[in-house]
A and B are shown apart, each in its own frame.
Chain A
Amino acid sequence: MGGLQKKKYESGSATNYISRNKARKKLSLSLADFRRLCILKGIYPHEPKHKKKVNKGSTAQKTFYLLKDIRFLLHEPIVGKFREYKIFVRKLRKAYGKGEWGGVEKLRENKPAYKLDHIVKERYPTFVDALRDVDDALSMCFLFSTFARTGKCHVETIQLCRRLSVEWMNYIVASRSLRKIFLSIKGIYYQAEVLGQTITWLVPYQFAHDHPTDVDYRVMATFTEFYTTLLGFVNFRLYQTLNLVYPPKLDGKGETDHLMQSLAAFHWVLFFSLQPQDDMEKMEAREKAQQEQDRQKKLFEGLKFFLNREVPRESLAFVLRCFGAQVSWDKSLCIGSTYDVTDETVTHHIVDRPSLDKQYMNRYYIQPQWVYDSVNAKMLLPVEDYFLGVTLPPHLSPFVEEKDGDYVPPERLKLLALQRGERPEQDEEEDEEEDEEEEEDDDDDNDDGEEEEEEAEEEVKLKNMEEKRTQGKVRVTPGKAKQENRQRLEQEEKAEEKRLAIMMMKKKDKYLYDKIMFGKKRKVREANKMAAKRKALDEASKSDRKKKLKK
């Protein structure tokens, strides 16, 4: 018929997508280069809604890219670099084949190289965007830094990843932003809060692993290439916010040849860049902010740790330094050990063996899980559960948020109780808590100017503390009791209001409400069942143990 009739597959979704091979030919790149380019530029294949339309009637499974994305790729300058590299490889191979070693040298010197800075800037126009994507980058960098330097993947990449990961950890130590840690069978999960963003990353254990064969190394290497660039820039910016010099230098440390290792020791304070003098107000504000630090950030402040040989040194040193502790280890392990095992002022000695021969008097010998659990609980847990040879309490995941009615393991309940401070048997911890609370309150009082009752209570508390110190007896402090009263009153008020509201509901609404409550109660019933089971299990294990002992 006439030429103005509409033909099939000439407009609409069929023209918005392009298949992978067509895209590759449009860019005149090989498949490997095309994949690398897509990964670097952040261009992903799309699944069209109506595959049959896009595939012009066929239902074969194909990979489709948006045509606009591919057209955008045509303007990318590193496409030219890929083509140059291809030509370079061809020339090099020819020179090798002909035995022209001079030519080979010359070609090698002029190897084409490209940089990815403009791509990073284009994909993440602001720094906050980059921070959001940095946890993927971190996991990849940490993973690559644990690879063996056999040459299977470029050794430079591994070195760069190691450097970046150490820099990142130093930043976290300096800014004290670590929040949660979870030891899993896969690796260690860390969560930190950086400039308002929650960043989670996974670090593998430092044991040798064989690599699976069905992973595409080229793809991972390309991702790492991009991520290392991103992480480098992010590190620079973060160091700038803390007013630190980048690349990091150590304050008061002369030798720089073992810089990486020294940095990895997290010992010395990083070198601060010169602050301009008209920043006095900013400095004051910063000091105030530092004073208002959480109890959490100074969790291990003042404590001295010594790590035995068999514990994961880097992870523990990182965590402990993040919270203000002093750490050291045996000299033969790594550089950066400040004090020896014989030092008298060591308060905690972290050991992972069933027993230790020589034990010193003033220190606690504990297993490494104490550190991680204390960090997750945001307080110093009782040390007795973590002594050598004691069966450890289970390591709970801090990434789990329990909703009401769900089963809560008893260990977690104990933890919550501890956090609320309702453990009258453990006095020393209470004292410590009270001390820290007092410090905090003292700080807060200057800023809030609220309850005078609290001040009065604190005076009472102080008095009681002094009495206790002189007498050394156990007593329940009145201040605590008052707090409980107020809480209970509030709760009672709330309960009454709730009852009133329920009474005033309409019949229909009441029907719905009953249904909901029935469902909730069912959950609670199940949780109770689980708790009962657990109790039975505990008792059974206890009786087993008793029998064993008797034997």
Chain B
Amino acid sequence: NRSARTFLYPASSPVGNMAAARRHRLVAASQPGFLPLKADLDGSGQTTGRRKRVNKNKKKNWNKYSDIQDVEEFLDDVRLQERAAGGLIADKPDDSLFFVDTGNQKSVPEPGGVGKKGRNSKPLRIDLILQPDSRIAPPKDVLAHQRPNAKKERRIAQKAEKLAAMGVLPRRQKLLRRPPAAPSVKEKPVTSKDPERNFYDLWSAGGPETADLYYLEQTKKKLVKRPEKLNEKPSVLPAVEVIAPGGSYNPDFFSHQALLLEAHEVEVQKLKAEERLQRKLAINKADVATEMSTFKEQIEGLVEEEEEPNPEAEQVADAVDESVGSAAQREKKTEKQRKKEKAERMKELQKKAERKMIDSRQQLFKLRSISADVKEMAQRTRRRRVQRKARQEAQKSLPRRLGKLKFQAPDLDIQLSDEIPGSLRTLKPEGSILKDRFKSLQKRNLIEPRERAKFKRKHKLKYVEKRAFREIK
């Protein structure tokens, strides 16, 4: 009867140990009134009292919240008994487990053969280690019991003979005869940067477009169509702009002067901008506050007025009184006044209407000047339209504002008159083509102007003085 469990507390296998222990702890901790070993210093009894309500019907929670420690322990115990004693101890007969101690001393022959020099030689430790230490019998080799019957074996032999006669080798021989596999040279995937890469005719090769549309759709090989707008160039400027004739290594005098003039204009503009800035920021010397002016400001109104300011003050007072008086009188309008005002208004309206009638009649005679006016307006709009169109065209060739930074035009590459070489050998190239290409890409709106990203520190650096320095005062 296996219900009588004899518990031996072994060192259980380390595999299930941790999970089992965790489960054990969880279950134990969830029992009410359980005092954990590491009691919280705060003594928060609220957290321990609060047990998490868990739905045990969910598959996720079967593993988490169910405790099978007892079953595991029992099974471990059973396994230990089988290993150590060869079977369940409960099933063993009493004789094998117990003996009655009668006190007789039987001379038990000493185990171990007589070894060298007659002394008892203990078995080697390594031999002991290699002995099987479990009483469980090794499993039976089922295949060893399976033997094909003679008929089958004969048939197999005949087939092998036939194949050998035909020349077909059994698999093992074939594998042996196979040439040793050459060290597999892995095909390097062709990258786009490989200097030895092969090119082919890209524009004549039949691509996926030639295949059936339905097939392509079903196999998900259909290429997405490129939007039409992407085929337009973002700028009308040519890709490579040739430098002005003054930029030749041996330039003609006037073209060189023209180029120098351009560069000069750029510098002049820069200077002007700086000067303008200085001018705007300049302060008038007279506006600077002096001690006198600040003093006067401070004592304003505190000192008693003299004779001259008085009549002015009186005039001001009278005007104020008058306005106050008129405001007080204007309280109620009489009927008369209202009727008068209404009559005036009607008269005004009538006059206006009459005037309008006369004007519209007179306009007939003004036709010529009116047409002149209209013509002038039309001309003005036409001129403005032309200007606007010209401005738009000019805008097209300018670099667009594509981001935070504005496009900075590159400096003109020029060489001053004394730097112009006499010959190709003494020429010192001006400017860098890398920069020129980069700026050209920005000018043509292919990339946005960006500045180098600055190195931002996440945390401020801490500077600490070494003790030696601190001591030096």
Contacts and interface: CB of A to CB of B under 8 A. Distances in A.
Given A116-B192, A135-B239, A397-B242, A182 B248 contact: yes
A109 B186 contact: yes
B424 A311 contact: yes
B429 A204 contact: yes
Interface in B38-56: none
Contact of A136 (B199, B240, B434, B452): B240
Contacts of A61: 401, 403-404
A367 interface: yes
Contacts, number: 232
Contact of B423 (A39, A72, A352): A352
Interface string B198-214: 11111100010000000
A327 interface: no
A118 B413 CA distance: 39
A255 interface: no
B360 to A, nearest CB: 35
Among B207, B247, B425, chain A packs the most CB atoms within 10 A around the CB of: B425
Interface in B198-232: 198-203, 207, 223-224, 226-227, 229-231
Contacts of A353: 425
A16 to B, nearest CB: 11
B240 A202 contact: yes
A209 interface: yes
Among A42, A135, A311, chain B packs the most CB atoms within 10 A around the CB of: A42
A347 interface: no
B72 interface: no
A35 B446 CA distance: 11
Contacts of B207: 121
Contact of A117 (B202, B244, B434): B202
A534 B201 contact: no
Interface string A193-222: 000000011101101010111111001100
Given A61-B403, A225-B192, A237-B203, A185 B245 contact: no
A67 to B, nearest CB: 11
B90 interface: no
A394 B224 contact: no
Contact of A204 (B248, B249, B433, B448): B433
A331 B402 CA distance: 53
B113 interface: no
B264 interface: no
B130 interface: no
Contacts of A109: 186
Interface string A348-362: 000011000000000
List 5 tightest A-B contacts by C-beta distance, closest first.
Answer: A397-B245, A159-B195, A113-B191, A136-B239, A394-B252
Nearest to B405: A61
Contact of A122 (B226, B243, B435): B226
B249 A120 contact: no
Contacts of B458: none
A368 B447 CA distance: 39
14 contacts: A39-B446, A44-B446, A47-B400, A139-B437, A183-B424, A184-B248, A209-B432, A228-B192, A240-B201, A312-B424, A396-B245, A397-B242, A399-B242, A530-B254
A122 B227 CA distance: 11
B387 interface: no
B250 to A, nearest CB: 4
Given A114-B192, A156-B193, A368-B424, A185 B199 contact: no
Interface string B163-204: 000000000000000000000001001111111011111110
B397 interface: no
Contact of A236 (B201, B422, B437): B201
B255 interface: yes
Given A215-B434, A537-B253, A47 B401 contact: yes
Contacts of B247: 184-186, 397
A68 B400 contact: no
Contacts of B250: 183, 369, 392, 394-395
A11 B202 CA distance: 41
Interface of A: 35, 39, 42-47, 61-63, 66, 68-69, 72, 75, 109, 111-118, 120-123, 126-127, 130, 133, 135-136, 139-140, 143, 154, 156-157, 159-160, 163, 182-187, 189, 200-202, 204-205, 207, 209, 211-216, 219-220, 223, 225, 228-229, 232-233, 235-237, 240, 246-247, 310-312, 352-353, 367-369, 391-392, 394-397, 399-400, 407, 409, 411, 530, 534, 537
Contacts of A225: 192-193
Given A216-B438, A409-B252, A121 B203 contact: yes
Contact of B224 (A72, A156, A160, A229): A72
B86 interface: no
Contacts of A537: 253
Contact of A45 (B200, B249, B402): B402
A92 to B, nearest CB: 16
Interface string B415-433: 1000000111101011111
Nearest to B239: A136
A211 B433 CA distance: 9
Contacts of B193: 154, 156-157, 160, 225, 228
Contacts of A154: 193
A411 B250 CA distance: 13
Contacts of B432: 209, 211-212
A312 B76 CA distance: 90
Given A113-B191, A367-B424, 20 more contacts: A44-B446, A115-B192, A143-B434, A160-B194, A183-B250, A184-B243, A185-B413, A185-B431, A186-B247, A186-B430, A232-B197, A233-B202, A236-B199, A236-B202, A352-B423, A394-B248, A394-B253, A397-B247, A397-B255, A411-B252
Contact of A69 (B230, B238, B403): B230
Contact of A187 (B197, B202, B255, B433): B433
Among B199, B250, B448, B450, chain A packs the most CB atoms within 10 A around the CB of: B199
Contacts of A133: 239
B89 to A, nearest CB: 50
A205 B234 CA distance: 30
A115 B437 contact: no
A334 B233 CA distance: 42
Contacts of B191: 113-115
Given A47-B402, A185-B415, A236-B201, A140 B192 contact: no
Given A47-B401, A214-B452, A68 B242 contact: no
Contacts of B445: 44-45
Nearest to B193: A156
B422 A392 contact: yes
B441 interface: yes
Interface in B249-267: 249-255
Contacts of A399: 242, 245
A176 B450 CA distance: 42
